[in-house]
Homo-oligomer: A and B are copies of this chain.
């Protein structure tokens, strides 16, 4: 089918640009983190809390992906870091970010000499997993409220991620969720995945993730 062939071509072109991004960011010694999740799992609040903890010591930039609105970008910009917004409705409402858009957005930063570049991808457990961005790490955020089965239902996302963050652990007492089962399901899909459990809201468990992040900084 022609459609599938073209999709494959698009993915191959994207991968090539992602590889170039990776090489470029490596040379500039910028740690790059691509954060993916369903809508509403708490990516932006996680980024807010992370940026607050790191911004005095490290130079941070953010590429913010959304279908519509600049709400999240505005939340992060308030913290004093530079944020470039990509609204995919300019590209037909796409449900992911492509490597080339990351490159273009990065080049729009006034100060590109960063310690950490965060990419907040479009809220979606399917499409962003198919498009490499060229970042060092893919981080998938899964809220406790989303259920234990999501890693097996959306396996590609958990296969391409090196880090999984189980967010909103403060809600566990009010949910019928077995967090161990959630972790087991993720490990079944990707035995190498490293898991952090935290609440971005209460900051319980946040420091372990921050410590891990700091260890990855290249400068």
Contact = CB atoms under 8 A, between A and B. Distances in A.
A69 B6 CA distance: 27
A69 B153 contact: yes
A38 interface: yes
Contact of A39 (B2, B4, B153, B176): B153
Interface stretch (A18-26, A111-119, A120-128): A120-128
Pick the most buried of A2, A145, A170: most chain B CB atoms within 10 A of its CB: A145
Interface string A123-165: 1111100100000000000010111011011111000000000
Contact of A40 (B10, B38, B176): B38
A154 B95 CA distance: 10
A71 interface: yes
A71 B149 contact: yes
A146 B146 CA distance: 10
A197 to B, nearest CB: 16
Contacts of A66: 153
A7 interface: yes
A149 B71 CA distance: 8
A16 B38 CA distance: 30
A153 B67 contact: yes
A188 to B, nearest CB: 12
A119 B174 CA distance: 29
B6 A126 contact: no
Contact of A38 (B4, B10, B123, B170): B123
A171 interface: yes
A3 interface: yes
B145 A67 contact: no
B130 A126 contact: no
Nearest to A130: B93
7 contacts: A38-B38, A39-B147, A40-B147, A124-B125, A126-B127, A127-B127, A145-B168
Interface of A: 2-4, 6-7, 10, 38-40, 66-69, 71, 92-95, 122-127, 130, 143, 145-147, 149-150, 152-156, 168, 170-171, 174-176, 201
